[in-house]
Structure 1
Amino acid sequence: MKCSVFVVAVALVMASCSQDETTGINKGSTIRFRTSVERTTRGVQTTLADLGEFKVTAVGNGANYFTDLGVSSSDNGATWTPAKVYYWPSYDLDFCAYAPQSLAGVSVSADARTIEDFIPSATVADQQDLLIACNTGSKAANESSGVSLNFKHALSRISVKAKCMNPDMQVEVLGVKICRVPSTATFTFPSEVTSESYVLPQANWTTPTTPADYVVRGGSAVTLTADAQSIMFGDDGFMLIPQKLTAWSQGAANDGAYLSVLCRISSLDGGRATQLYPVPTDENAGKYAFSAVPIDTDWQPGYHYAYTLEFCGANSGGGLIDPSPTNPADPDDADVDPTPGTGGEEILSEPIRFSVTVDEWKDAAPENMDM
């Protein structure tokens, strides 16, 4: 059955608030900041020490007091220096901060506080952790202590591991991709203070549009064992927009989300390997092909989703043929078989089984022999 071609385990990881990193503060009459960043297993992980810089906008009395003010640290987050000096006005201020500073589409004012049409980088290695923080402050409350900005991770991180449970099967992995993930959405900064206990809702993102494919490609293959190992090839994870995924229907059309492993599957007999997938021909000798499994996870902001794919186990096989079997970053990738078969078909189908019967002994006709 198609539902059992892979066994997929998903681990969810979110740091507790007690693991936040905090800094010292600068005291004085100017507006100053002290920051914290949730310490998590996310990636590409941004910590307080490597946050380095952020931008912040202050809104009060119906207008922006300052807009996209750069704030940086030269001592790994111990102190923070604004690019310009501002003094406290007589009224309260709302602060919206974000990192990285290069983020496009940010619009913070008295009327709207959004990141318009956010799109993760098409290159996984260039995808960055999106951090946001919000707080209110006043001269009376914060002139001495500084404004606390507790940054929250606004994206979901996805990483993939794999294992092969049959010692007589060999699965060599050269890459992994995540496909048909809607990847354009608008983020609204929360109206609440992003305190240590605050949980950023998925609803702060609009429903994403424009499905995209993302791939991580290794330089050399990893041979799977019975112990799960990362197949991210040095990348910490896909950093993508939180959303409820609609799963691929397991047919020839790539009509929903799925994970796909660039692999070569062989049967072993002693030291001899017989390639089973992609089915060997003169044209694809030595090549790999994508093996897919649908996913419909409900990704939340600030969570790490660690998928573990099991090949050739008691209830798993080799996956399904990918309905879009090319490398999205390099459609002419010479290591990829672009025509491994019809999308959605089982790669290994059912294992070889035997039906055994034993005939009853039959008595032959007796013979008389003269001596």
Structure 2
Amino acid sequence: MKQKLFLAAMAAIAMTSCSNDETLEINTGTERAIDFRTAMATRAIETTISNLDSFYVTAFNENIINAPYFKDLKFKKREENSTIFVSEDKYYYPGDGTNLTFYAYAPSAEELGSGSNLEIDNTIKNLTLKGFSPADSIPDQVDFIATKTTGNNKNNVDSVPLVFKHCLSQIEIKAIQQNPNNSYSFEIKGVRIAQAISKGDFDFTAFASESESGWNLSAYTDKQIYTYEFDEPKDMAQGASLMDKCGGAMLIPQQLTAWDVVNDKDNTSKGAYISLLLKITTKDGALVYPFKKDAEAGKTHAWAAIPVNATWEAGKKYVYRLNFASGAGYVDPEEKNYPGKPILDGEVKFDVEVTDWESHDYTGNMENGEITEDLDETDTEDPWGGE
């Protein structure tokens, strides 16, 4: 009897660094036939079993012809809340018990972004995603998940675990005021993650080994500024959750080198930083930032930056909390005026000295109503003509 190749989600996708393990299973049998639904889109939101509608699989067998068993084949849920994923074109395990090697991923190369393409090495039976680049707009970025496993008709009568992991790093930005400085109000209109390497190649086998991230960035040097501007400004006093709608940026794992704000204010070396689009006022309403020149030119908000030096790893979420308790960062190096200048520079304080009173005595003449200043004894003329 032929054995159809099915993919069944038995628990949930196992996502590295997440609290819940979610597992997909490969089942064999003839009892199910599944139709398809539209491809998933996980824009900057973490993929879970509940929002995973489909994924793609490329498979290799062990026979002598170097060609994929099938490639970039879509598998979809049978129905809502189903745990079964199958392809429209049905495939079966080889009857001799040899293994099939599966590379599964979501979303498709096309959905991952322009310039991305899957390269198949039939000789070593490997898969590489070439030239992946996250979308410039943070809300348009996608969560790329992948895994590798094997299965055959002898050992996998029930199921073969297919465990997905996150391939990218998730970055979330928050703004806080610990020990809040009530002298200022902060209004936030957007967020930037600036000067991260923007392109890389992803090796599925290296990623599956767990000793490597799978990413190779050596062929690429281009960096990008990733931006998310809000429809409506957020008030920091209300607790600014800056990425609540999109969840966070999905960026390539890498080592960041921070912007040298002291020696390279224009950031010619393209050091990394995080920036917020801000309007700062005093509690009495005076505009502090944007500075005078920009405000007179019609700008209502301006970018305020903080250098960041970090290592991002695949499958991990990094939350950056920008604390405005005692400062507001530096003018973003992309701003035309005053790049790298501290936005709040030096606490306003006073060194106080109080001078002694200078005494003046007056006498009023009750007869004529005149008031005259009394002269100091040293200034009084001697009525006898003495000195």
TM-score by length of 1: 0.77
Larger mean CA deviation between 115-124 and 280-289 belongs to 280-289
| 2:165 counterpart of 1:152 | yes
Distance 1:181 1:288 in 2: 24
Q: How far did residue 203 of structure 1 move? A: 5.0
For residues 104-115 of structure 1, the aligned pairs below 5 Å read 104-110=116-122, 111=124, 112-115=126-129
Q: Is 1:96–1:108's contact at 8 Å kept on the other side of the alignment?
A: no
Residue-by-residue CA offset, 1:281-323 (whole Å, 9 max, x unaligned): 5633561110011111100001111111111x2xx31110111
1:122 to 1:25, Cα distance in 2 relative to 1, 3 A: same
2:221 pairs with 1:217: no
Q: CA RMSD in A?
A: 3.1
2:329 corresponds to which residue? 319
Partner of 1:167, secondary structure, is: coil
Deviates more, 1:280-289 or 1:60-69: 280-289
CA-CA distance at 1:361 after TM superposition = 8.5
Q: 1:266, 1:274 within 8 Å by CA — same for their partners in 2?
A: yes
**RCO greater where, 1 or 2, for CA within 8 Å and sep 6 or more?**
1
What are the within-5 Å matches in structure 2 for residues 1-371 of structure 1? 14-16=17-19, 19-22=20-23, 26-28=27-29, 43-61=44-62, 63=66, 64-73=68-77, 74-89=79-94, 90=96, 91-101=98-108, 102=110, 103=112, 104-110=116-122, 111=124, 112-142=126-156, 144-164=157-177, 165-190=180-205, 194=208, 199=210, 201-202=212-213, 204-207=215-218, 208-225=220-237, 228-232=239-243, 234-250=245-261, 251-254=265-268, 255-268=270-283, 272-281=284-293, 283-285=296-298, 287-311=300-324, 313=325, 316-325=326-335, 339=336, 341-358=337-354
Task: Give how far 1:148 is off.
Answer: 2.0
Amino acid across the alignment from 2:300: K
Shift, 1:43, TM fit: 4.6
Cα deviation, 1:234-263, whole Å, max 9, x if unaligned, reads 221111000011111111225211111110
- Specify the code of the residue in structure 2 equivalent to 1:283: E
8 Å Cα contact 2:24-2:161 kept in structure 1 = no
What residue in structure 1 maps to residue 3 of structure 2?
none
- Decide whether aligned partners of structure 1 residues 233 and 94 sit closer, same or farther in structure 2, where only a CA change above 3 A counts: closer
Deviation at 1:218, TM superposition (A): 1.1
Partner of 2:12: none
Matched-pair contact (CA < 8 Å) for 1:48–1:76: no
SS of structure 1 residue aligned to 2:311:
coil
Change in CA separation of 1:260 and 1:191 when aligned onto 2, cut-off 3 Å = closer
For residues 306 and 241 of structure 2, what CA distance do their matches in structure 1 show?
Answer: 17
Letter in 2 for 1:306: V
8 Å CA contact 2:25–2:161 kept in 1: the answer is no
Report the AA paired with residue 52 of structure 2: L
Q: Distance in 1 between matches of 2:276 and 2:23?
A: 40
Separation in structure 2 between the aligned mates of residue 109 and residue 285 of structure 1, nearest angstrom = 55
Is the partner of 2:51 in helix, strand or coil? helix
Give the direction of change, closer, same or farther, for the CA distance of 1:78–1:30 in structure 2 (3 Å limit).
closer
Deviation at 1:206, TM superposition (A): 2.9
Paired letter, 1:84: D
Q: What does residue 363 of structure 2 align with? A: none
> What SS class does the counterpart of residue 190 from structure 1 fall into?
helix
What's the offset of the Cα at 1:367? 5.1
Contact 2:305 2:331 in 1 (8 A): yes
Q: TM-score, normalised by structure 2?
A: 0.74
Partners of 2:227 and 2:168 lie apart in 1 by 18
1:176 Cα deviation from its structure 2 partner: 0.8
Q: Partners in 1 of 2:87 and 2:229 — Cα distance?
A: 40
Structure 2 residue runs of 5 or longer lacking an equivalent are: 1-15, 34-42, 361-374, 381-387
Q: How far has the Cα of 1:24 moved from its partner?
A: 7.0
- Tell me, which stretches of 5 or more residues in structure 1 are unaligned? 1-12, 33-41, 326-338
**Matched residue type, 1:86:** Y
Q: Secondary structure at the match of 1:140?
A: coil
Q: What is the count of residue pairs matched by the alignment?
A: 321
Sequence identity, in percent? Answer: 32
Give the whole-Å Cα distance in 1 for the aligned partners of 2:81 and 2:121.
30
Q: After superposing the two structures, state which structure 1 stretch, 61-70 or 293-302, moved more.
A: 61-70
Once the two structures are TM-superposed, the CA of residue 118 in structure 1 deviates from its matched residue by 0.4
Superposition deviation, residue 363 in structure 1: 11
How has the CA–CA distance of structure 1 residues 82 and 346 changed in structure 2, closer, same or farther, with 3 Å as cutoff? Answer: same
Tell me, yes or no, if the aligned pair for 2:25 and 2:162 is still in contact at 8 Å. Answer: no
Secondary structure, aligned partner of 2:69: strand
Greater Rg by CA: 2
User: Could you report, residue by residue, the CA deviation over 1:311-339 in whole angstroms, capped at 9, with x for unpaired residues?
Assistant: 1x2xx3111011112xxxxxxxxxxxxx4
Partner SS for 2:154 = helix
